[in-house]
Amino acid sequence: MKLLHIDSSVLGDNSVSRQLTAQTVAQWQARHPGLEVSYLDLAAQAPSHLNADSLGFRLPAGSAELSEVQKQENAISEALVSQFLDSDVIVVGAPLYNFSIPSQLKAWIDRICQAGRTFRYTANGPEGLAGGKKVVVVSTRGGKYSISEAARAMEHQETYLVTVFGFLGIRDVSIVRAEGLSMGDAVKSEALASAQAEIAALA
């Protein structure tokens, strides 16, 4: 079994999502001997955002018609999508930034959403090609967005990730949530205890 561990928080050692993804991966390692883990720190090494040179595989990688920049961008996208497809479990640290996910996590998603590799279009609509995987989204939030309809309408983090992975054919998506982290020590402690209980149950 292969697990891909992804962090996207820019807060380093102060990041709660990084602490919780590390705990999640440690639980999987403890309960699944022989688990192979690869690590991707998107805050330290994020792919560039999509542009005219990195948008899709227009020509084969060895084609003389590709510029050197396009060949380099193709190689980055190929490495990321191959790593993703080769993984059985993906643990994603996804803090809420301005009602959505960090831009570096979005840049990674844009690289792995490749027609013909992770999804395809058919006469009946899009079809995901990356099914059979387990995704654990470690969701952290300074406020509380799950407690009311108005707050849920402002959240484009968990809902977006579930939609994207579902589009790629992955239905087994679990959310480990710690919210209210900026609402005082008592609320933070309760949120962390709840998230840690969810992590223990998942592995």
Q: Is 148 annotated as a binding residue?
A: no
Rounded (5°) CA angle 93-72-115: 65
Nearest partner of 38 among 3, 78, 82, judged by Cα: 3
Q: Is 38 annotated as a binding residue?
A: no
Q: Is 140 annotated as a binding residue?
A: yes
Q: Is 143 annotated as a binding residue?
A: yes
Instruction: Provide CB contacts within 8 A for 63, sequence distance 6+.
Output: none
Q: Is 56 annotated as a binding residue?
A: no
Q: Is 146 annotated as a binding residue?
A: no
Q: What six digits make up the tokens of 200?
A: 């223990």
Q: Is 9 annotated as a binding residue?
A: yes
Query: Cα–Cα distance between 175 and 89 in angstroms, integer?
Result: 13
Q: Is 182 annotated as a binding residue?
A: no
Alpha helices by DSSP H, 13-101: 16-31, 68-85
Query: Cα–Cα distance between 78 and 84 in angstroms, integer?
Result: 10
Query: Cα–Cα distance between 140 and 176 in angstroms, integer?
Result: 8
- E strand spans, the chain: 2-7, 36-41, 89-95, 119-122, 125-128, 134-140, 172-178
Alpha helices by DSSP H, 86-132: 103-112
- Positions at the binding site: 9, 15-17, 140-143
Q: Which residues are annotated as a binding site for FMN?
A: 9, 15-17, 140-143
